[in-house]
Structure 1
Amino acid sequence: MVIESILPPGVAAADSVVDPPDAELFPEEEAYIARAVEKRRREFTTVRWCARRALDSLGQRAVALLPDRRGAPGWPDGVHGSMTHCAGYRAAAVAPTGTVAGIGIDAEPHEALPAGVFDTISLPSERASIRRRHARVHWDRLLFSAKESVFKAWYPMARRELGFSEAELDLDPGGSFTARLLVPGPVVDGRPVTGYQGRWRVVDGLILTAIVVPRRDAL
């Protein structure tokens, strides 16, 4: 399992590089995706197949996982989770709410961002740092993926959007990254969240990033 390599103990995960032909949806999920094109349907179905495998390893029964207005999946009571999919890869990660306050994972192809996107999603300090890096990693795409993981960890806590310019990231070549929030963060376990710690990996043509926010009592 690829995504598991950047997740801490206690977080259950499942991933897939194919779309299993026997993967099924709940009726509510079928209704949600009914008008989608085939590519979107395959992504939607397989990533929920992964999520149900991960939930099963926590002893959670299978339930419909419906997106909210922003696309964030609704998880069963007592669980935090995150999903991701890109060409050739789908993954989900879940953990009990008693041990983690949030999870964000993201997968992207290991290739450069389309022209013009890097300047749109990055801050001047991030661009300056990344342009000094060696070229063996597509740092622009890695930054984008890490910011996606930041948003996925942030949104369920704050229940509002977080713009690309509202968190400043520092990517460590050793496989970790930090995100400093530039706007007031949500309060978790009596403390305001001011940033996140994450991990990243490049493997098999993919960029993977992950953030897991531990509960205060679990530290």
Structure 2
Amino acid sequence: MIEQLVPAAVKSRAAYGDELDHEPLYAEETAAVARAVQRRRAEYAAGRACARAALAALGCPPGPITRDPERGAPVWPAGVVGSITHCDGYRAAAVARAADILALGIDAEPHGPLPEGVLKVITATAAETDSLAELGEQAPGIHWDRLMFSAKETVYKAWYPYHRRMLDFTEAELLLAADAGAADRGTYTARLLVPGPLLAEGVGPDVFSGRWIVRDGLVATAIVVPNTEAEIPEGPATPTPGAPASS
């Protein structure tokens, strides 16, 4: 799913079910989840396996993918940006050269309604609320609340490496749209409501743009910010050939 949302400069690998949940970890990675429950250790192992397969497609040698000590975000090799996601039945990673892509965030969620009360917590503006109501009337088969939750996760993942602090759900206004003639996929934009540049001063766009898809009981979202100084090939990225199919 993720590979359908990103350009060719982004390499991705996904796993369905538990196919990679028992992949071996490096010692540094094992230590990071030593106290975690079994489910978390399995997700972590699969996410790291996906990430190593995606990195191999970039030509990066295998090695541990450690965690940021502050928020637990993956620490990528120098010159690489990336993102990992996992939910019930799906794990995926996406990576790219920083020379091609400035920022990257992916997320996947079960395609079902959010628990009661969560939407109110994650909604930032009246424009978001009005947009969700309108979309719900136009395409009632899509759980737009869950889609917004997932898309806001990608905003945080793309933003965090530049700012190194938590970004609350209500600190970004996110507006969703469906592609013409295709209610199961579309785009979204995110505008930050906090002071400062979106990425860094003089770097990147003023608004994040992303893509989403709903398929096989899952919703997947992705933000990719191209490095405008580089030539980025158009078209979907392909999973790593022959490789084992977040954080």
Task: Tell me, yes or no, whether TM beats 0.5.
Answer: yes
| Matched pairs, number | 218
After superposition, the Cα gap between the structure-2 partners of 1:99 and 1:45, relative to the gap in structure 1 and judged at 3 Å, is same
Corresponding letter in the other structure for 1:8: P
Change in 2 beyond 3 A, CA 1:115/1:12: same
**TM-score where L is the length of structure 2:** 0.84
Q: Which one of 190, 197, 220 corresponds to residue 179 of structure 1?
A: 190
**Are the aligned partners of 1:189 and 1:215 in contact in 2 as well (CA < 8 Å)?**
no
Runs of 4+ in 1 over 6 A off after TM superposition: none
Rate the CA distance shift 1:58–1:191 in 2: closer, same or farther, 3 A: closer
Taking the aligned partners of 2:210 and 2:223, their CA distance within structure 1 comes to: 4
1:7 corresponds in structure 2 to 6
Between the aligned partners of 2:21 and 2:174, the Cα distance in structure 1 is: 39
Find the partner of 1:198 among 205, 210, 229.
210
Amino-acid identity (%): 49
For 1:215, the equivalent position in structure 2 comes to: 227
1:201–1:207 contact (8 Å) kept in structure 2 = yes
Cα displacement string for residues 146-170 of structure 1 (whole angstroms, at most 9, x for unaligned residues): 0000000000112222111111111
Contact 2:9 2:101 in 1 (8 A): no
1:117-138 Cα shifts (integer Å, max 9, x gaps): 0000012221111012231100
Mapping for residues 33-44 of structure 1, pairs under 5 Å: 33-44=33-44
| Equivalent in the alignment of 2:28 | 28
Contact 1:185 1:194 in 2 (8 A): yes
Distance 1:192 1:65 in 2: 26
Alignment of 1:15-94 (within 5 A): 15-19=14-18, 20=20, 23-68=23-68, 69-94=70-95
- TM-aligned CA deviation for residue 190 of structure 1: 2.8
The CA deviation string for residues 93-140 of structure 1, in whole angstroms up to 9 with x for no partner, is 000011111100000000000000000001222111101223110000
Q: Deviations over 1:59-92 (max 9, x none)?
A: 1011211221212100011100000000000000
> Structure 2: which amino acid aligns with 1:169?
L
Alpha-carbon distance in structure 1 between the residues aligned to 2:108 and 2:212: 10
Question: Are residue 137 (structure 1) and residue 113 (structure 2) matched?
Answer: no
Which has the higher mean CA deviation after the structures are superposed, 61-70 or 183-192? Answer: 183-192
Q: 1:192 to 1:5 in 2, by over 3 A?
A: closer
Note the residue ranges of structure 1 that are not aligned, 5 or more in a row. Answer: none
* Higher RCO (CA 8 Å, separation ≥ 6 residues): 2
Q: Does 1:110 align with 2:111?
A: yes
Report the alpha carbon displacement of residue 143 of structure 1 after superposing the two structures with TM. Answer: 0.3
Q: CA deviation at 1:218?
A: 2.3
Distance 2:118 2:216 in 1: 24
Structure-1-length-normalised TM-score: 0.95
Counterpart CA distance in 1 for 2:176 and 2:89 is 25
Q: Equivalent residue of 2:213, what SS?
A: strand
Contact 2:176 2:187 in 1 (8 A): yes
Unaligned runs of at least 5 residues, structure 2: 180-185, 232-247
RMSD: 1.5
| 1:191 positional shift | 3.7
The answer to whether the 8 Å contact 1:84/1:105 transfers is yes
Offset at residue 213 of structure 1 (A) = 0.7
